[in-house]
């Protein structure tokens, strides 16, 4: 019997319990084949069916318009930090690429792109330690810009874009790793959306890339073949042996999301979950939220203890003993971070909220 634990890890994150049980049940014998799903060829009809079901489920859940393609690419979101400029900088001869600097991963995306295009900072909230989404001047989105890059939800600081920038004819590219399918969005506003799987979709090691069809065909000749979106689209993500396990798990997670009522229902639940924690933080001087209240994430709730690091260490130790796992904040900000992606049930959030209230009573 497994110990009852709620896992608040930022990623690889918890997966839905019914999904984990299903994987265990069919582990040694996938649908009567006598072999495991991870022992089946990526070109076998059984696996191709899994891949195509995952694509169809995502399209349905997201309400994705028909002129967008769904690709699976090796390497997580970080690999996309290179793939995006390799595939899209060449849209315009000047290779001007605008990056919004809203946190650690936004900064890394710009850093990884530096040798592959002309990176410019659209706006930055570094001055307030990334506690918000910065203001910007829409006049910067001129026609000679290859693309504009944002990070939809900033995992470490617990901020998110409430209003996505209106970039007009310039393609908007979004890293949605930590919030994919957690809220309803209008996909037609985006050129590319990508997401590492290990938070809301599945296990680590792979990314989903959603690309508007007219943005295919701009890859530089030096693009590694497995990072070339046009090639991936042509081969339906099977240019080489793909990460079959990741796609299989993702398909199960998408089925689970559909059974939960889809994105609208998940979004409502995510609002409730995060609101429960923010109420504890706002109702006390003992806890201090990292993010400005107008820019708060519903996926990652980051906070500190006013009393400082020593009491934070005690908080983490006692939370761990109470079955509240992986609450330590990222090394860049310290403190506490509760990652509450789609699979986290309200019961887990309630346990944490009650623990926080109790801890404050004893130590406040």
Instruction: Give the footprint of its own copies on this chain (CB under 8 A).
Output: 2-5, 7, 9-15, 20-21, 23-24, 27-29, 32-36, 38-42, 44, 74-79, 81-83, 86, 112, 115-116, 196, 198, 203-206, 221-222, 224-227, 239-246, 249, 323, 325-326
In this structure, how many other beta carbons lie within 10 angstroms of the beta carbon of residue 47?
Answer: 20
Q: Which helix (H) or strand (E) holds 362?
A: helix 346-363
Q: Which helix (H) or strand (E) holds 271?
A: helix 262-282
Residue number, 170 or 247, with CB nearest to its own copies: 247
For residues 8 and 15, the answer to whether their CB atoms sit within 8 Å is no
- The residues, ordered by sequence, that sit 6+ positions from 54 with a Cβ below 8 Å of its Cβ are 247, 250, 251, 254
Residue number, 102 or 243, with CB nearest to its own copies: 243
For residues 337 and 156, the answer to whether their CB atoms sit within 8 Å is yes
Could you tell me the smallest distance in angstroms from the CB atom of residue 78 to its own copies?
A: 4
- The residues, ordered by sequence, that sit 6+ positions from 359 with a Cβ below 8 Å of its Cβ are 315, 318, 319
Q: Which helix (H) or strand (E) holds 314?
A: helix 309-321
Residue number, 11 or 103, with CB nearest to its own copies: 11
- The residues, ordered by sequence, that sit 6+ positions from 147 with a Cβ below 8 Å of its Cβ are 84, 88, 89, 91, 97, 98, 170, 171, 172, 173, 191, 192
- Whole-angstrom distance, CA of residue 130 vs CA of residue 159: 8
Q: Which helix (H) or strand (E) holds 258?
A: helix 244-259
Candidates 252, 174, 254, 258; CA nearest to 209 is 174
């Amino acid at each position: 019997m497994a110990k009852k634990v709620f896992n608040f890890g930022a990623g690889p994150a918890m997966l839905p319990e019914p999904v984990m049980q299903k994987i265990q049940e069919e582990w040694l014998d996938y649908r009567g084949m006598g072999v495991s799903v991870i022992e089946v060829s990526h070109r076998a009809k059984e696996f191709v069916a899994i891949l195509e079901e995952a694509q169809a489920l995502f399209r349905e859940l997201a309400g994705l318009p028909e002129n967008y393609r769904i690709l699976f690419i090796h390497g997580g979101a970080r690999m996309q930090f290179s793939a995006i400029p390799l595939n899209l900088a060449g849209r315009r001869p000047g290779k001007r690429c605008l990056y919004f600097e809203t946190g650690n991963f936004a900064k890394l995306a710009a850093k990884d792109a530096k040798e592959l295009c002309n990176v410019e900072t659209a706006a930055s909230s570094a001055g307030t330690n990334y506690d918000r989404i910065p203001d910007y001047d829409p006049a910067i989105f001129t026609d000679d810009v290859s693309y504009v890059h944002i990070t939809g939800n900033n995992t470490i600081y617990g901020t998110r874009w409430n209003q996505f920038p209106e970039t007009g004819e310039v393609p908007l590219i979004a890293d949605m790793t930590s919030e994919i399918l957690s809220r309803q969005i209008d996909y037609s506003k985006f050129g590319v959306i990508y997401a590492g799987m290990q938070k809301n979709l599945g296990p680590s090691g792979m990314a989903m890339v959603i690309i508007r069809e007219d943005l295919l065909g701009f890859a530089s000749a030096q693009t590694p073949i497995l990072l070339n979106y046009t090639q991936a689209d042509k081969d339906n993500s099977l240019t080489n042996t793909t990460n079959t396990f990741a796609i299989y798990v993702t398909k199960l997670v998408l089925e689970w999301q559909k059974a939960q009522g889809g994105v609208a229902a998940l979004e409502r639940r995510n609002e409730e979950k995060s609101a429960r924690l923010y109420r504890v933080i706002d109702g006390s001087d003992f806890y201090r939220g990292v993010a400005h209240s107008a820019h708060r994430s519903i996926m990652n709730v980051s906070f500190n203890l006013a009393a400082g690091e020593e009491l934070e260490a005690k908080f983490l130790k006692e939370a761990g003993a109470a079955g509240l796992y992986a609450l330590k904040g990222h090394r860049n900000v310290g403190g506490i971070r509760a990652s509450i992606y789609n699979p986290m049930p309200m019961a887990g959030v309630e346990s944490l909220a009650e623990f926080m209230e109790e801890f404050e009573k004893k130590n406040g």
